[in-house]
Amino acid sequence: MSDFSFPRQARLLDSRDYKEVFDDVLVKASDKSLLILARPSSKERSRLGLVIAKKHVRRANQRNRIKRVIREHFRVTHTRLDALDLVIIARQGLGDLSNEELRQILARLWQRLRKKAAALSEGAPTR
């Protein structure tokens, strides 16, 4: 049975973890509201980090809702991803999306990310 929890091992915990992803981005997937940066993980499972800036999503309750939806979606789909360190960055207008719209965008971006990561592991260009 799959593990759908979100333990510490599934999170980018400190600035060093985030810096590694920002400095060594190998795969990107983007939408007008979200950007996902990824690199192969040094751990055996995918890890998630979120950057939801007040500049792009003004209200705290909206930022918290967005984080909950993204974490929930990651918990359910992380087993289908290769071992990647992921940073999800909010863009302008993300707070205006409903939960369902956000889930649809995430589903499309995960699919693109899987394809690009598979191409990367096969040695094909990802850009």
DSSP 21-78: HHHT--EEEE-SSEEEEEEE-SSSS-EEEEE--TTTS--HHHHHHHHHHHHHHHHHHG
Q: What is the pLDDT along the chain (127 residues), one digit of tens a residue?
A: 455 667 788 899 999 999 999 999 999 999 999 999 999 888 888 899 999 999 999 999 999 999 999 999 998 887 777 788 999 999 999 999 999 999 999 999 999 988 888 887 776 555 5
| Residues 6 or more apart whose Cβ sits within 8 Å of residue 92 | 33, 56
Q: Judging by DSSP bridges, how do beta strands 34-40 and 84-90 pair with one another?
A: antiparallel
Amino acid at 77: T
Question: Are 48 and 71 within 8 A, CB to CB?
Answer: yes
Cβ atoms of residues 33 and 16 within 8 Å = no
Q: How high is the pLDDT of residue 1?
A: 43
pLDDT of residue 46: 87
Which domains, ranges and CATH numbers included, belong to the chain? Answer: 8-121 (3.30.230.10)
DSSP H/E element including 114: helix 99-122
Task: Find, among 97, 93, 52, the residue nearest to 71 by Cα.
Answer: 52
